[in-house]
Structure 1
């Protein structure tokens, strides 16, 4: 395993609280019975339905575990799940309903970047805390304008740092890039241009695809024709799989790198077409390869087993949904108020200072940084034998 080196001092990592995330980390006092109601705005149809449904499964499994654990005393957690169809206008209606419901303790949003970015003003104005699982930095930054919006998942800057460091270690001199034409894709392009320039690695002509495209072969062919030593695919799992198939058809022999948004199923689609592809992601994706030397690692292994046993396979991003539920439940259980009218200002304040060693890895929110996954959570994975493994 090659962990990603972090620019954040080791002191911060040592401050992370070790917890299994199976109960209430804040040690809330006993409260009267009632529900902790959480809204979920997910992509259950249309583009990104695969990851949206994986989020829904993870949320429902985590809620079931929390309710069966008894950690909340007489209180229970309940989800209100809505489909946004990967459409910001539909999402806006869902968010409007959630923020108008005084019983809602918090909102979880799915992978749609534009949905989450558009929702930031509404959740701020209505003072309802939300955690988005969308990857774009604009979702939660700048924090001063996103007081009630948080983000959980790999950050573009950390992904770029990991990829460029590995390219440099392999002495790669030229790179091609396939990226989505959305806020996250443009963010990745800008960061890669800068970091590759710093490393003196040439970025050959890049190509963009729409987040809804189901055919990327022409863009891949154009990139391969430039003969780069390596190709970076900065796109969701479905498009990354299509890119792998196209690269195999083009008989591309160079290095292939996937950004973290490409993480999907544990077993790589299309047989061995992605063999030896490198991807930046968290250990949870391959936790069955890891020895449980800490309570946090043991909890991640148990989550992997529970999810796999329930749904017949593992989806990489499921841990972020589970951690998002845990963070909101922990804050709601600790916050002042009652189950009928949760104190959402208090919940927001607790989320803004949350620290935990989660299912996804170390998570730390601060008033200046509302995107909680720390760089130490990331590692390099490699596709071997039709599934993702830890890179050696």
Structure 2
């Protein structure tokens, strides 16, 4: 072989070897590490109905994402712990999750005290968290909660929407039953402000604890004031009890539910008492009443159908958990990993500027606002024939 041919052959072999090595390295560089999302949920205690709904939604959404091929060869792995509806137990769970360097982020359930109690720990451990608890103090002020985000209806948005409906129906005065927690107190403050602007008087206010299974005394006291309407600012189970107690006490006025009172689509044993009641909530709850004219509405309808097919019914708040997981999965994909460990700071940074038309509605997060659900996500629902329907 001539020297030129020999040199050419050697060069070709070298180029081929480099190309093959590069291909092999490229294949090895593909990130196939699981995206580990921890979840601190109320699976026992008074918050269990909502906590189990969130668990179902997270598991269904994770299954859908894992089978979609959209995770670039990665898979979501959920690690769920029961906080027993107790803030102290929740904090222990959060400490465990934060200390595990394989955990990318945390989803917290609907317990306001659990979420607010974990804020300092979350920021100290620098682990991103999306909470499903509605209290404003969970994610505000954003500058003091850099790693904490919230995905649930805001009390101020719910109060404004309720005030609009009350004014439209020419209601002059109301009685209010609120939950005895941070969200209930916050709700009363913003509701009174919204009602004052509409010249609607609050005749009486009563509270209900998370553990209460009988609210008849509070309702009787409110009904004695003879209000034109009752506003129920409690979780779904207690709102249902309150509706039944109100009718049994002879109350014939209107019932208005805050977004926190949303539960199952079908009203079951409370159907008769809640007939014609009004609730402020997201459109996904009744998406089967909506023509899917956009990709976002079509996605919401598919979620509604998939959840209903899997679990035999639909729970309104399930979409919040599904959207939280979608946000975290997107952020984890965009931020990648470092030596096989998640880039928590990168996930946080992506979350802080995330925007999407989610299953719950439009979601926007900014450095100044860590509460993502937009006011436009809320609409008016009405109870008819044992289930919630789109008003109008």
Is the TM-score greater than 0.5? yes
- Aligned-residue offset at 1:238: 0.5
- Deviation of 1:337 (Å): 2.6
Aligned partner of 1:55 in structure 2 is 54
Deviation at 1:336, TM superposition (A): 4.0
User: 1:216 and 1:338 mapped to 2: Cα distance?
Assistant: 53
- For the aligned residues, what is the CA RMSD? 1.0
Q: Which residue of 2 aligns with 1:35?
A: 34
Corresponding residue of 2:4: none
Q: Give the length in aligned residue pairs.
A: 363
* Deviation sequence 1:341-382 (CA, Å, 0-9, x none): 111011001101000000000000011110000000000000
Report whether the alignment pairs 1:345 with 2:332: no
| Structure 1: distance between partners of 2:108 and 2:352 | 17
Pairwise CA distance, 1:251: 2.3
Q: Which residue of 1 aligns with 2:266?
A: 267
Structure 2 distance, partners of 1:160, 1:31, is 48
Measured after TM superposition, the shift of residue 201 of structure 1 is: 1.0
Q: Normalising by structure 1, what TM-score?
A: 0.91
CA contact (8 A) 1:36 1:339 kept: no
Structure 2 unaligned spans of 5+: 1-28
Aligned 8 A contact 1:103 1:339 in 2: no
Kindly name which structure, 1 or 2, has the bigger radius of gyration based on alpha carbons.
2
CA distances 1:185-236 after superposition (whole Å, capped 9, x unpaired): 0001111121211211111111011122111110001000100011100000
Extract structure 1 runs of 4+ deviating beyond 6 A.
Answer: none
Deviation at 1:288, TM superposition (A): 0.4
Aligned to 1:74: 73
Q: How many angstroms does 1:338 deviate by?
A: 3.9
Structure 1 partner of 2:156: 157
Deviates more, 1:376-385 or 1:165-174: 165-174
Matching residue of 1:118 = 117
Q: Which has the higher contact order (CA 8 A, sep 6+)?
A: 1
CA drift of 1:269 comes to: 3.0
Separation (CA, whole Å) in 2 of partners of 1:245 and 1:168: 25
Match of 2:281 in 1: 281
- Change over 3 Å in CA distance of 1:375–1:83 after alignment to 2: same
In structure 1, how many angstroms separate the alpha carbons of the residues matched to 2:81 and 2:62? 16
Give distance in 2, aligned partners of 1:339 and 1:166: 54
**Cα distance, 1:31 vs. partner?**
3.5
- Residue 317 of structure 2 is matched in structure 1 by 317
Q: How far apart are the structure 2 equivalents of 1:184 and 1:277?
A: 22
CA distance in 2, matches of 1:309, 1:336: 34
C-alpha distance in structure 1 between counterparts of 2:391 and 2:73, whole Å: 45
Contact map agreement 1:216 1:242 (CA 8 A) in 2:
yes
How far residue 73 of structure 1 moved from its aligned partner, in angstroms, is 2.1
TM-score normalised by the chain length of structure 2:
0.91
Which stretches in structure 1 are left out of the alignment for 5+ residues?
1-29
Distance in 1, Cα, partners of 2:233 & 2:210: 11
* Residues 60/311 of structure 1: CA separation in 2 closer, same or farther (3 Å cut): same
Trace 1:81-120 onto structure 2 (pairs within 5 A). Answer: 81-120=80-119
